[in-house]
Structure 1
Amino acid sequence: MQTTAAHGSWPSPVTAALAAADDGRPDGLGTVGDEVWWTAPRPTEGGRRTLVRRRADGTEETVLPPPWNVRSRVVEYGGRPWAAVERPGTGPLLVFCHFPDQRLYAHEPDAGPGAEPRPLTPVSPVGGGLRWADPVLLPERGEVWCVLEEFTGPAPTDVRRVLAAVPLDGSAAEDRTAVRELSDGRHRFVTGPRISPDGRRAVWIGWDHPLMPWDGTEAVLADITPEGTFARARTVAGGPEESVPQADWDAAGRLLFSSDRTGWWNLYRAELADDGTPGPARPLCPREEEFAGPLWQTGLTWFRALETGPVAVLHGRGDAVLGILDPETGVLADASGPWTVWTPTLAVHGTRVLGVAAGPGRRHEVVELDTRTGRTRVVGSPHTDRVDPAHYPEPVVRIFTGPGGREIHAHVHPPRNPAFTGPEGELPPYVIRAHGGPTGHFPLALDLETAYFTSRGIGVADVDYGGSTGYGRAYRERLRGRWGVVDVEDCAAVARALAAEGTADPARLAIRGGSAGGWTSAASLVHTDVYACGTIVYPVLDLKGWATDETHDFESRYLDGLVGPLDEVPERYEERSPIEHVDRITAPFLLLQGLDDVICPPVQAERFLARVAGRGVPHAALFFPGEGHGFRAADTMIRALEAELSLYARVFGFDRPDVPALELRT
């Protein structure tokens, strides 16, 4: 028997504290001998990331206790932060990047009590210092090869990136000159090297401003000399209009790479002659599906070759699933199980494939596929239902129609609570969510932040607006030159459609997003009258500022593609920037901002609020010390989530005495 109560007022066991504790996912997966290792979030420990190992007997343990934080800041979004090798008799040797100082450290976790990590790299006082990512351990050379990001001045764009060799003996811990540079610096951005099975060659990805890695990249191949230097570096795939997000090797020494040369990221293989010259690249499974994704971090892996010949691949439309590809026949067999979302962090060991996967009713967990038997099992970070799953949302995959008849992909999460239903004739409020990126998409995976709202009677619609990934290059490029137009239109089209079909209350619609989604939320309040309120989280608000010196180097030329070069279309920057049109905002809003954010800095939020003040628009703003781009500490996430619910209670007219009242000022 269900109790009738106003939408939004339903009691729920999905608390903000529970949602915060469940935030984040395993990442950086790898194998060390027969063990499986990964990084894991610790929201209740200040938001640090630790390193977890699963021993061969199935036991799990934390490798690094507080305050160690295994996370890189290369391109600010980071990259793979660790590597380890098995050493019979002495235990593994680990190299990792520590977030606070960004130094590389070596550690021997089995060395006994008192064993502490020792630094391998120095601290630089220049700008953002020295940063490292995507390490490859080479004990036989006494080095670790990785990406070096080195700041050369105080500005965020005073930076260079090369592949470098760091000695394992600690001789570079106080001496930058002891670090050997491997690549020639021809590209502004590089990923870590992937070394051929015979050790003779290395391949990596490089690209330059103003391109983003989903616009155009190059796969660079170099010979490795006996002295451990790179020779004859040459481009073997990619270009200014072809994105190659990953390149690697199969067990026979053939080059594998993903490319969107056909409009879809597919997988290719090329034979190499004795002199290293690649032959024609052959597509291994040509489909109108994505076999890769946007390269937001170095070290992402959408495919891994097994020693026995098959290739483990992630593929699909929207979300990616795990499949095993026979490269000789093109036959692709998907792994069984309840997982519909696999993240780009694959590892292989013998006949086993390991990945991180989730589904609509399961959070992200570490999953193993035995390719001999086809059997899958959870081997780490197992999902547990902390509340009755009847409180989880049941998402519906939808395709809506936007302006000009264009398709808009979305996931709709109706209100759901086993004990409550809304009054007869009352339509629920809905929150329309815009994802970040904007080159990204919403995964169809269990998210307790979504359940926090749906279990209280508030619907949620996640919109993969034009520009999102997972649907081919043409869909991705709908946003080219039209950021702040297509994204705003597509979110509004979904909101209007839900209202028109009787799913959502047209008078109680909200817009919500973080980062690029925060931009879309603010722009939606400026350019449409669809929403009764909005939640704007660490947003871009001033395009001109963001295009000059108010963001980091990686995205400092992003707007060339999303809006157009500033010197060519300055009027677009003014017309589309929410900060230039605060007079058009009439709906209440909540702004959430981390004070340590260098990607979407607080100065933009502060200027925006200064212009809004005194205009009669009810609003609130919460600034969080110690938080950067993406909240990580449990206390922050709890406060932010409860504040968002309080905003909706105030605007939509339901009672929530269980959360602190949000004070709105005008």
Structure 2
Amino acid sequence: MRITADTLLSMTEKSFVREYLWTPEQQLAFLTARDHGVRYMDGSSSSLTEDPRIPVDFHAELDQGGGSFVAAKSGTYGLAPQALTLYSWTKDGSRFRPVRAQELVLWQTGYDRKTVLARIPPSLGLQIDPRERWLSWISEHGHEEELEIFSRLRQDREVRSVLRVPGFLRNVRWHPDKAMMLYISWPLHDVPWESARLYIADYDMQDLRPVPRAGRPLQPPQVGTVPMSCSEAAFSPCGRYVIALIRTGEWYQFWSYDIARQHWQQISHAQAELAKPPRGAEQPQFALHPHRPLVLGIAAEKGASHFVHYHYATDEYPQKWKAPRTRDSWLDQPRFSPDGRHLSVISASSQSLPGLRSWQYDVDTWYEANRVRLKQPYRAQSQTPLRVEWPSLDGETVHGLLYQPKDGSGPLPLIIAVHGGPVDQVSAGWPAKAKFFTQLGFAFLYVNYRGSWGYGSTYQRALEGRWGLIDAEDVASAVKSLGDQGLIDPNRVGIWGGAAGGMTVLNILIRFPRLIKAAVAVYPYLDLPDLLQRCAPLKRAEMKWALGDCTRDEMLARSPLLRAGRIKTPLALFHGAKDKLVPLEQMQQLQSLLERQGTSVQLKTYEHEGHGWKHETTRYDYARRVTDFFVKSLMETSSSSLALQYGQREQPSQSV
């Protein structure tokens, strides 16, 4: 089989459209995963008219909260990194971490880029108030986070802190008419799905800047025993209501709050997840219609997404509006155009790459307006995942998505992919890795072990205090279940994971030494006590929640580095030399230990990478090595073995 560079890169390519918004001129402005630039297209036309002059220095690191941008009448504002990298040392000088400076930039009509402010601390949650008087963002300051303001009405270009909270601050929203704001906050050592609270605050104007008063919590009446945490909230366009996603029993549900009457009402009762796993980035997961009392959300059921809509003022408007139908199985970031006639969403399916799709509403009917997708790198088979369930070692149900080759027969070799997080979810969108390996004759399983998002509160909270234990058990139990059903060959199973998923991979090899035939671990977490000292506060809170009330010795007992002597499975390790979460010395220590005891191990280090691949040449080389490793380890040595050929002329250019 001949494999091109694009085929391999598709295994590691993230969503084409990472983030987008509607401009006041009815244009769609979006960020792409490949060039990280801002692009514009006509949002109301069926023809795609992209801006040919693209600023390519806007880097969308959404996982860490950077890359947010907003549209205003004056242009499109964004937080972009500067070339300068600062470093800070601890008191003893033993460690350092990179601190990226940022700058506030402005693009006018998509052509001219200028710096508004330089050397802003790493920030997230960029917002502009509805009257376009000021821009605001959130910055971290030790154990506190604060809201900073840049007033467009002042000439001094001074940035001022207007709100500081102990712990985390997210979801700042400004009222469309009144001097009022919303925000979500929770303590530093807590996880958002346990204790994120919604606050509303009035503010006064001083020196052309808002000065918020003390916020008062907004909390609906308690339902059930699960903590009612808030995931996202917004003012309605009319300004009368607050619409919020609040955990209610097993699921996050939509609630409306009448500000004048101070009255809560639950407006959804879905048996599906309406919120996404909280992360550093702020990407709204519901949209409010600009002219109707209507909220459009995305519901996830066992990995697949679909639209849901609710009216929050049913006594004032007839319920005639319906969301468009779509065959896409993964939806993200729904948006209405300013006039309310267009709806857009980032979507994907097992047949189509992630991209931006929009519809036009006319005479109670939706018509597709435009669709922006990458050209598919290879002719992929049309596949729908098999939603599989199996019993865990202690009898609980575990979920996953299984992809099988169409022409495969008999028990197949299996590759299991383990997601990171640890609290995250694999959805039934464009399964790049599964698409690639099923064409090579493998079955491919994505595991959403207990603790994964999207299967209810009880399923997600099952991981609390048991990370490093039940995640490994849930993956291991999948092999026995699928083998008993004759779907896979239990003697030819490979496993693959990165970061938290890489730690799970190593723990499986330690606890179940004869289960796996070949394993790939990408910058895996190796030393948990050391990791907790290095990671960001939000990540640290999630890890401590997942580990529970552990002593240092108990954390070391769950750390793969301490128990790696039990690993006998052939192992391929991949790491970035500039990784500050997992130092290269730890990976080299793991490699040395395994080599001394005779375990087959290979370590590939990329000198210009950190914790995650940034360069195209790295992703190409990484995908090629993983492919060769699994094919040689798991495919039977017979005449039907694959002969992989790589096109040298089609390798990506150097980008280091």
Q: Which amino acid aligns with 2:29?
A: W
TM-score normalised by length of structure 2:
0.85
SS at match of 1:474: helix
Distance change (3 Å), C-alpha of 1:446 and 1:110: closer
Alpha-carbon contact 1:324-1:335 (below 8 Å) kept? no
Distance 2:65 2:52 in 1: 21
Distance change (3 Å), C-alpha of 1:381 and 1:38: same
Distance 2:453 2:499 in 1: 16
Distance change (3 Å), C-alpha of 1:16 and 1:69: same
Q: Which amino acid aligns with 2:211?
A: T
Distance change (3 Å), C-alpha of 1:305 and 1:394: closer
Q: Which amino acid aligns with 1:231?
A: R
State the 1:445 CA deviation: 1.3
Which residue in 2 is equivalent to 1:25? 16
Distance change (3 Å), C-alpha of 1:17 and 1:161: same
Distance 2:229 2:107 in 1: 38
- 2:529 equivalent to 1:544: yes
Which residue in 2 is equivalent to 1:337? 326
Which residue in 2 is equivalent to 1:359? 349
Q: Which amino acid aligns with 1:81?
A: S
The RMSD of aligned alpha carbons is 2.8
| Matched ranges for 1:128-139 at <5 A | 130-138=121-129
Choose from 339, 346, 350 the match for 1:350: 339
Deviates more, 1:624-633 or 1:530-539: 624-633
SS at match of 1:555: helix
Deviation per residue, 1:276-327 (Å, 9 max, x gap): xx72321111122211121113322121211221111111323332223222
Distance 1:507 1:292 in 2: 39
Which residue in 1 is equivalent to 2:115? 118
State the 1:349 CA deviation: 2.8
Which residue in 2 is equivalent to 1:497? 481
- 2:172 equivalent to 1:193: yes
Q: Which amino acid aligns with 2:139?
A: L
| Matched ranges for 1:59-98 at <5 A | 59-61=49-51, 64-66=54-56, 68-72=57-61, 77-79=64-66, 81-87=68-74, 92-98=75-81
Distance change (3 Å), C-alpha of 1:244 and 1:595: farther
SS at match of 1:343: strand
Q: Which amino acid aligns with 1:246?
A: E
State the 1:358 CA deviation: 1.0
- 2:532 equivalent to 1:559: no
Deviation per residue, 1:378-428 (Å, 9 max, x gap): 6342254443343x54421112222233111111011246xxx56xx5x32
Distance change (3 Å), C-alpha of 1:486 and 1:641: same
Distance 1:625 1:346 in 2: 40
Give every structure 1 segment of 4 or more consecutive aligned residues whose post-TM-superposition deviation is greater than 6 Å: 169-173
Which residue in 2 is equivalent to 1:415? 405
Distance change (3 Å), C-alpha of 1:477 and 1:270: same
State the 1:226 CA deviation: 3.1
Alpha-carbon contact 2:12-2:432 (below 8 Å) kept? no
| Matched ranges for 1:88-167 at <5 A | 92-98=75-81, 100=83, 101-110=100-109, 115-122=112-119, 130-138=121-129, 142-150=133-141, 158=142, 160-167=144-151
Greater RCO, 1 or 2 (C-alpha within 8 Å, sep 6+)? 1
Distance 2:140 2:52 in 1: 28
Which residue in 2 is equivalent to 1:3? none
SS at match of 1:248: strand
Alpha-carbon contact 1:518-1:538 (below 8 Å) kept? yes
State the 1:353 CA deviation: 2.3
Which residue in 2 is equivalent to 1:155? none
Distance 2:506 2:196 in 1: 32
Choose from 213, 236, 239 the match for 1:250: 236
Gaps of 5+ in 2: 84-99, 647-656
Which residue in 2 is equivalent to 1:623? 605
Deviates more, 1:394-403 or 1:53-62: 53-62
State the 1:118 CA deviation: 1.2
Which residue in 2 is equivalent to 1:582? 564
- 2:161 equivalent to 1:181: yes
State the 1:224 CA deviation: 2.5
Choose from 232, 250, 269 the match for 1:263: 250
Which residue in 1 is equivalent to 2:416? 432
Deviation per residue, 1:421-449 (Å, 9 max, x gap): 56xx5x32101111111211111112332
Which residue in 2 is equivalent to 1:405? 395
Alpha-carbon contact 2:170-2:185 (below 8 Å) kept? yes
SS at match of 1:641: helix
TM-score normalised by length of structure 1:
0.84
Q: Which amino acid aligns with 1:181?
A: S
Alpha-carbon contact 1:71-1:98 (below 8 Å) kept? no
Which residue in 2 is equivalent to 1:293? 276
- 2:594 equivalent to 1:608: no
Q: Which amino acid aligns with 2:394?
A: G
Distance 1:139 1:249 in 2: 11
State the 1:21 CA deviation: 8.2
Q: Which amino acid aligns with 1:379?
A: N
Q: Which amino acid aligns with 1:30?
A: L
Deviation per residue, 1:159-182 (Å, 9 max, x gap): 642111024489777xxxx21112
